[in-house]
């Protein structure tokens, strides 16, 4: 029996969920999970270390590293081979800004979550027991 998948905390949903070449038809489709997207956002855009990224997402550092490596490989394939990218799915829940530190710079400065939309669970989240 496989080990149950742990939900990852995500504090920033993508503004766009599809990307691809504009000058020709895509050579295929790659799907990136929301938690893979979150590791790219945290490490590459926000400049967090693997440890800080893992803490923000509520996972082990090795899990954050694996997600990051998978995401980078997918991005590289899209850039090099002209493959379209969609961001969807995964095992995650949106952060509420209280249960753990949100990694957005604005949240750290102002002491609360910068997302003013409802922070209801998303993805395949099961409530804590």
Does 127 reside within a domain?
A: no
Q: Please indicate, yes or no, if residue 48 is contained in any of the structural domains.
A: yes
Is the pLDDT score of 22 beyond 80?
yes
Task: Examine residue 40 and state whether it is found in any structural domain, yes or no.
Answer: yes
Per-residue pLDDT, averaged over 103-126, amounts to 43
Is residue 119 in some structural domain? no
CB 82 within 8 A of CB 110: no
51 is a domain residue: yes
CA distance 80 to 40: 18
The reported pLDDT for the residue numbered 118 is 36
Grouping H, G, I as helix, E, B as strand and the rest as coil, residue 42 is helix
**Domain-embedded: residue 50:** yes
For the chain, the helix, strand and coil percentages under 3-state DSSP, each to the nearest 5: 35, 10, 50
Q: How far is the C-alpha of 95 from the C-alpha of 119, rounded, in Å?
A: 6
pTM of this structure = 0.73
For residues 51 and 4, which has the higher predicted lDDT (pLDDT)?
A: 51
With respect to residue 55, please indicate whether it lies within any of the assigned structural domains. yes
What residues make up the domain containing 60?
Answer: 8-110
User: Is pLDDT larger for residue 97 or for residue 86?
Assistant: 86
- Is residue 129 pLDDT above 50, yes or no? no
If pLDDT is split at 50, 70 and 90, which confidence band does 112 have?
very low
Higher pLDDT: 13 or 116? It is 13
Q: Name the residue with higher pLDDT: 10 or 12.
A: 10
- How far is the C-alpha of 13 from the C-alpha of 62, rounded, in Å? 22
**How many structural domains is the chain composed of?**
1
Residue 2 lies in a domain: no
């Amino acid at each position: 029996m496989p080990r149950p998948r742990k939900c990852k905390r995500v504090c920033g949903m993508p503004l766009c969920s599809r990307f691809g070449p504009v000058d020709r038809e895509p050579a295929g489709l790659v799907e990136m999970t929301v938690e893979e997207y979150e590791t790219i956002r945290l490490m590459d855009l926000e400049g967090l270390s693997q440890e800080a990224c893992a803490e923000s997402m509520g996972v082990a550092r090795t899990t954050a590293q694996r997600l990051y490596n998978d995401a980078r490989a997918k991005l590289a394939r899209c850039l090099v081979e002209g493959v379209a990218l969609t961001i969807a799915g995964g095992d995650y829940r949106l952060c509420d800004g209280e249960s753990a530190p949100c990694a957005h710079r604005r949240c750290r400065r102002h002491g609360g979550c910068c997302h003013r939309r409802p922070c209801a669970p998303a993805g395949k989240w099961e409530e804590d027991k």
